[in-house]
Structure 1
Amino acid sequence: MTLEKEIEKYFKIYAEERFGDAVRLFVIPAAPEHEIRQFLQTLSQEYQVALRYHYGELVLELKKGAAKENYLLNLILFIATFITTTLVGSTFYGDKIDIPGGVMFSVAIMFVLGSHEMGHYIAARKWKMRTSLPYFIPFPTIIGTLGAVIKHRGIIPNRKALFDVGVTGPLLGMVASTIVVIIGLQIPFELKTEPTLYIGTPPIFDAILYALNYQKNAIHPVAFAGWVGFFVTFLNMIPVGQLDGGHVLRAMIGELSEKVSKIIPAVLIAYGIYLMKVLNQPNTIWLFWGIISFFFSTQRHPKPADDETPIDGKRFVIGIIAFILAFLCFVPVPFYFT
């Protein structure tokens, strides 16, 4: 049976465009939505598949073979981010630039962020999903980077796959953050100048401080890299849109998660305003993230190919644990400057 005949089981094709080794079919759905999703998932094993609207018309775009990854770009961004995190980290040691110390911070922060993204990558590869290696993002922020991302192509096969990909990154990131914090707290560190940055500590960080009987008021930049990892974990696990938490909740409770996704931004914005107006805290991070999460919430979460089969009880319990752990990474007032 030809590919076109197979496609006609699910779509009525009324026009066709070819360009190079790709084809664009103008289609009208002719089968139930869940059957179409499953068909496209099967098709994506051999083709690059995209079903989208093009100038108001629904088109199915197919290209033979897998997309080629530009690993050179991954490497260039990795090196650039290593440089920016090293330069920023080298300023954490007092009034003089400390390049070796900056390298230590860079290794720690990239290990934490890279572990998070590799968690996603490993889970996606387990489900034979087309996923890129991490792209680190160099940027002269307070930590020298905006983090790292991976790109996923194709349709998510089912809710189990969605759950595994969503939850593995934060959990692996938390493990990496814990390791880095423990190591960082063992490194002797004394501030040579009056600090300009103060950080709040989440419950999980406080637990590590208590377990190690850490009594000092300052922490080594390596430990700060672990703190960043916990903070990023909480941000990613906010159950909104296509954040990790949005993926996990979508896999757990299905389309009901869309309602939760609409509520969370308002909660964050209200909390941010409460901090500024009631507690007089000069910190806008939660107001900012409330606005960011609002934009995430306006995009409906894409449905997996099999959206009818729920996840198993074991995954549901892991999901609950993951959200509890993420809440333990919450910092009411993350940081402020003097």
Structure 2
Amino acid sequence: MDPVDSAEIPPIEALQSVFSLHETRRDGERILYYGESLVPEQMLVREVWPSFRQAGYEIQVATTPAGREDIIVARPVTNGTDGIPWKNLGLFFATVLSTMIVGALAWYHVPGSEILSNPATVLQAWPFTAAVLGVLTTHELGHYALSRYHGVDVSLPYLIPFIVPFGTLGAIIQMRGQIPDRKALFDIGVAGPLAGLAATIVVTAVGLSLPPMTVPESMVRGSGQVIIFNNPPLLNLIAAILGEQTSYPDPTTTAHPVIIGGWVGMFFTVLNLLPVGQLDGGHIIRAMLGEAQERLAAFVPIALFGLAAYLHYGLGYSFNESVGIWAFWGFLSIFIAYRGPADPIDDAPIGPARMAVGLLTFALGALCFLLVPIEMMTV
């Protein structure tokens, strides 16, 4: 790291009243300010962020390994992708492949031996892949678009390949910049669920209009038990409006796999709207209620463990059904809550219009909730 001429860096007068500056050094594109903070960290960021942001820099506060000095780390704001986003593209193509393979095996009932002898048979599952990834990607692009609108440095979506039952664990984006105010935090948080739900409704409607699939009778007879994905209220509502059915008395007949894209969108919406930490619901509630969000978040793990206990001890469901889902998310929500919510620079209230949109978003999320998302059935 090299010393920096004060003429080459953002105006340091913004630091004078809140930070005792000892030394300034450059580390690549980053500029590091060593010294002692004269105010709490959140107040320090709130005071100096506007000047640095206007000069084209994002800031973070850290301490030296020995804890003897505070460090303000300033780095240039990224206004777009820097070159070709190879990691994003690599994960995208890997997830396309994983969802297509899983779709072919689990939802289009293509025998594994047939896929091994002719890999092109996985292309039968492209509608399933398009439905699942379309919903998940639209959700993340909602966050991305509103982050860019508010000038927040954010990555392109990262899709996550996985195995059964969907071939993916979802998608994420990485927010690298500070959130300027609660309005921006709200807009970014709510954009994902609303965009994802719009795509979910379209995908569900398309899936319901497609003809049902026929399951080979040999697969039904030899399976013993099958996983049943129960319908969220929103899926039943869309089916009722369109006059389409979602289940069939013949066990060898199932709804078209594209509908699973809608189911995935609804289930992921419920999970993302949990009002804890830096999940979408945590962002929205933090923007709506301010710091009171943390008190609400403390009840989320309790509620999820309560759901798991009620399903197991009250209704007799096993752990490999929905009990395990809610128990897992109970533990995960503890970790998410421990990391804390996003803290915007300006903590002014968001106003009644956004409050109404927030309530509407949670109401739509409630239409996607199922006490028993999956269960096992003997055939």
Band the TM-score falls in, shorter-chain normalisation: over 0.9
Structure 1 residue 71 corresponds to structure 2 residue 110:
no
Secondary structure in structure 2 of the residue aligned to 1:25: strand
CA contact (8 A) 1:241 1:297 kept: yes
CA contact (8 A) 2:25 2:32 kept: yes
- 1:243 Cα deviation (Å)? 0.3
Match of 2:46 among 37, 41, 45: 37
Going from structure 1 to structure 2, the CA distance change for 1:18 and 1:190 (only over 3 Å counts) comes to closer
The equivalent residue for 2:71 is 59
**1:152-210, Cα deviation, whole Å (9 max, x unpaired):** 11210000000000001001101100100100011112332428221111111111121
Greater relative CO (CA pairs within 8 A, separation 6+): 1
1:71 is matched by which residue type in structure 2? P
The CA RMSD measured in Å over matched residues stands at: 2.1
CA contact (8 A) 2:37 2:44 kept: no
Secondary structure in structure 2 of the residue aligned to 1:90: helix
1:37 is matched by which residue type in structure 2? R
Going from structure 1 to structure 2, the CA distance change for 1:41 and 1:156 (only over 3 Å counts) comes to farther
Q: Figure out how many residues of one structure are paired with residues of the other and give that number.
A: 337
Q: Distance in 2 between matches of 1:21 and 1:123?
A: 26
Structure 1 residue 111 corresponds to structure 2 residue 134:
yes
Q: Distance in 1 between matches of 2:151 and 2:25?
A: 30
**1:123-167, Cα deviation, whole Å (9 max, x unpaired):** 111111111111111112311111111111121000000000000
Kindly name which structure, 1 or 2, has the bigger radius of gyration based on alpha carbons: 2
- 1:65 Cα deviation (Å)? 5.4
Secondary structure in structure 1 of the residue aligned to 2:75: strand
Instruction: Give the alignment of 1:131-280 within 5 angstroms.
Output: 131-193=154-216, 194=220, 196-215=226-245, 216-217=247-248, 218-280=254-316
CA contact (8 A) 2:283 2:342 kept: no
- 1:64 Cα deviation (Å)? 4.1
Identity %: 36
Match of 2:334 among 291, 294, 298: 294
Going from structure 1 to structure 2, the CA distance change for 1:333 and 1:54 (only over 3 Å counts) comes to farther
Q: List gaps (5 residues or longer) in structure 1.
A: none
CA contact (8 A) 1:200 1:332 kept: no
Going from structure 1 to structure 2, the CA distance change for 1:273 and 1:54 (only over 3 Å counts) comes to farther
Going from structure 1 to structure 2, the CA distance change for 1:330 and 1:65 (only over 3 Å counts) comes to closer
CA contact (8 A) 1:23 1:63 kept: yes
Q: Distance in 2 between matches of 1:270 and 1:168?
A: 30
Going from structure 1 to structure 2, the CA distance change for 1:95 and 1:129 (only over 3 Å counts) comes to closer
- 1:95 Cα deviation (Å)? 5.1
Going from structure 1 to structure 2, the CA distance change for 1:19 and 1:245 (only over 3 Å counts) comes to same
1:7 is matched by which residue type in structure 2? L
1:88 is matched by which residue type in structure 2? V
The equivalent residue for 1:23 is 31
TM-score of the aligned structures, taking structure 1 as reference length: 0.93
Q: List gaps (5 residues or longer) in structure 2.
A: 1-5, 116-120, 249-253
